[in-house]
């Protein structure tokens, strides 16, 4: 099976109440970990590439690695551009064989967001085969590669704008802001309460009322959540016990994401959790085996941790297992 776009995957996910994981990939081991996990779970998967990944690994390497994963696993895999900043980068990816792109003009005024998104949609939909387009309304706090928004400068999606936006742009899916955030430090300690037993921060709940309202205005339309790592504390603990120093790293609780996946959310973006799992595996290996110097040994452990994490996400959070 060749690379696929997200259209049919989202239709089925919407109907059956689950979400597809969109995992960021930056190197071979991450691509392998994600796709081997998806294969074992019999799950469709989205591999997404950010501007930072393109800079780090070069687009041609990422594309060929994802193609290798398709050949190796036979899975329906979407190759998606994460946070395309302008028309040119989206066009470049569409011409280069991506099957899905995100145009992110969420920081621009409403009319400008519509105009640029519309231009990308026209180009993507005229492409053969059809390339799907995701856009965004509302802004998330946090840091993800080149996307940086200060805490306090974020804004929730206004449900009054979504119908007009989707109608005028013709976009295939919409990322909304309901309180998720980019990075491994999603919430400031003062936004959270602290679990008295473990000392771990408990973040404020997602705004399910906004999601509910958006899905009423856009029946059957796929919604996307960015910044949806959960910062699983078992990995933070391994990192901190093996020389790391991640203080008060906190994410979106997995039960809330599971709830969103049963609603209109069809794509959930996960990046920081992969980084944490990889780092946990490598740190643990390095500390336990100070005599090792073969990168396959420690990166291999990182890859095993990422794979284990992705299987957990697919089965316990996204619900996309056995959906092929
Ligand atoms: Zn994002």
Q: What is the pLDDT of residues 119-176, one digit of tens each?
A: 999 999 999 999 999 999 998 888 777 777 877 777 899 999 999 999 999 999 999 9
Q: Are strands 223-225 and 201-202 parallel, antiparallel or unpaired?
A: unpaired
Q: Please list all protein residues whose beta carbon sits less than 5 angstroms from ligand 1, which is an ion.
A: 226
Q: What pTM did the predictor assign?
A: 0.96
What's the CA-to-centroid distance between 116 and ligand 1, angstroms?
A: 18
pLDDT score recorded for residue 141? 80
> Which domain covers residue 201, as residue numbers?
7-318
CA angle 230, 100, 98 (to 5 degrees): 115
Q: Is a pLDDT exceeding 80 seen at residue 86? A: yes
pLDDT score recorded for residue 316? 98
Is 2 part of a structural domain of the chain?
no
* Burial of residue 119 (number of CB atoms within 10 Å: 0-12, 13-18, 19+): middle
Q: What is the CA radius of gyration of the chain?
A: 19
pLDDT score recorded for residue 185? 86
Q: What is the pLDDT of residues 23-75, one digit of tens each?
A: 999 999 999 999 999 999 999 999 999 999 999 999 999 999 999 999 999 99
Q: What is the distance between the terminal CA atoms of the chain, rounded to a whole angstrom?
A: 12
Is 235 part of a structural domain of the chain?
yes
Q: What is the pLDDT of residues 187-234, one digit of tens each?
A: 888 888 888 888 878 888 999 999 999 999 999 999 999 999 999 999
Is 323 part of a structural domain of the chain?
no
Is 276 part of a structural domain of the chain?
yes
What's the CA-to-centroid distance between 256 and ligand 1, angstroms?
A: 18
What's the CA-to-centroid distance between 21 and ligand 1, angstroms?
A: 13
Is 1 part of a structural domain of the chain?
no
Tell me how far apart the alpha carbons of residues 103 and 89 are, in angstroms, rounded to a whole number: 9
pLDDT score recorded for residue 195? 85
Whole-Å CA distances, 201 to 36, 189, 250: 32, 7, 6
What's the CA-to-centroid distance between 295 and ligand 1, angstroms?
A: 30
Give the pLDDT band (50/70/90) at residue 1: confident
pLDDT score recorded for residue 6? 98
Please tell me whether the peptide bond between 14 and the residue prior to it is cis, using omega within 30 degrees of 0.
no
Is 293 part of a structural domain of the chain?
yes
Question: Between 27 and 250, whose confidence is greater?
Answer: 27
Local structure of residue 205 (DSSP, 8 states): P
Total domains in the fold of the chain: 1
Tell me how far apart the alpha carbons of residues 124 and 74 are, in angstroms, rounded to a whole number: 25
* Length of the chain in terms of residues written: 324
Domain containing 147 — which CATH number? 3.20.20.70
The answer to whether 82 is a known catalytic residue is yes
Residue 1 near residue 298 (C-beta atoms within 8 A):
no
Contacts of 299 (CB under 8 A, 6+ apart): 29, 282
Task: Pick the closest to residue 212 from 178, 182, 179 (CA basis).
Answer: 178
Give me the catalytic one of 82, 172, 273, 301.
82
What's the CA-to-centroid distance between 203 and ligand 1, angstroms?
A: 19
Is 324 part of a structural domain of the chain?
no
Is 247 part of a structural domain of the chain?
yes
């Amino acid at each position: 099976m060749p690379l696929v776009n997200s259209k049919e995957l989202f239709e089925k996910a919407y109907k059956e109440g689950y979400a597809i994981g969109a995992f960021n990939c930056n190197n071979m081991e991450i691509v392998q970990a994600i796709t081997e996990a998806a294969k074992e779970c019999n799950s469709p998967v989205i591999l997404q590439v950010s501007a930072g990944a393109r800079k780090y690994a070069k687009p041609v390497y990422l594309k060929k690695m994802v193609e290798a994963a398709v050949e190796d696993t036979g899975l329906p895999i979407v190759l998606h551009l994460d946070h395309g900043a302008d028309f040119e980068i989206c066009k470049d990816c569409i011409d280069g064989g991506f099957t899905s792109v995100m145009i992110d003009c969420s920081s621009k005024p409403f009319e400008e967001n519509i105009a640029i998104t519309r231009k990308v949609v026209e180009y993507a939909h005229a492409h053969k085969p059809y390339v799907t387009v995701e856009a965004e309304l509302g802004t998330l706090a946090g840091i993800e590669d080149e996307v940086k928004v200060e805490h306090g400068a974020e804004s929730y999606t206004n449900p009054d704008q979504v119908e007009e936006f989707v109608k005028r742009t013709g976009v295939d899916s919409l990322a909304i802001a309901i309180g998720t955030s980019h990075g491994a430090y999603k919430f400031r300690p003062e936004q959270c309460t602290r679990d008295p037993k473990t000392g771990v921060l408990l973040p404020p709940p997602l705004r399910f009322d906004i999601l509910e309202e958006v899905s009423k205005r856009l029946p059957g339309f796929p919604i996307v959540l960015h910044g949806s790592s959960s910062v699983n504390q078992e990995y933070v603990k391994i990192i901190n016990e093996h020389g790391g120093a991640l203080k008060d790293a906190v994410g979106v609780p997995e039960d809330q994401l599971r709830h969103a996946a049963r609603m209109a959310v069809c794509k959930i973006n996960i990046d920081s959790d992969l980084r944490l799992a990889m780092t946990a595996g490598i740190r643990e290996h390095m500390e336990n085996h100070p005599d090792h110097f073969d990168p396959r040994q420690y990166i291999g452990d990182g890859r095993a941790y990422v794979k284990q994490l992705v299987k957990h996400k697919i089965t316990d959070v996204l619900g996309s297992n056995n959906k092929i």
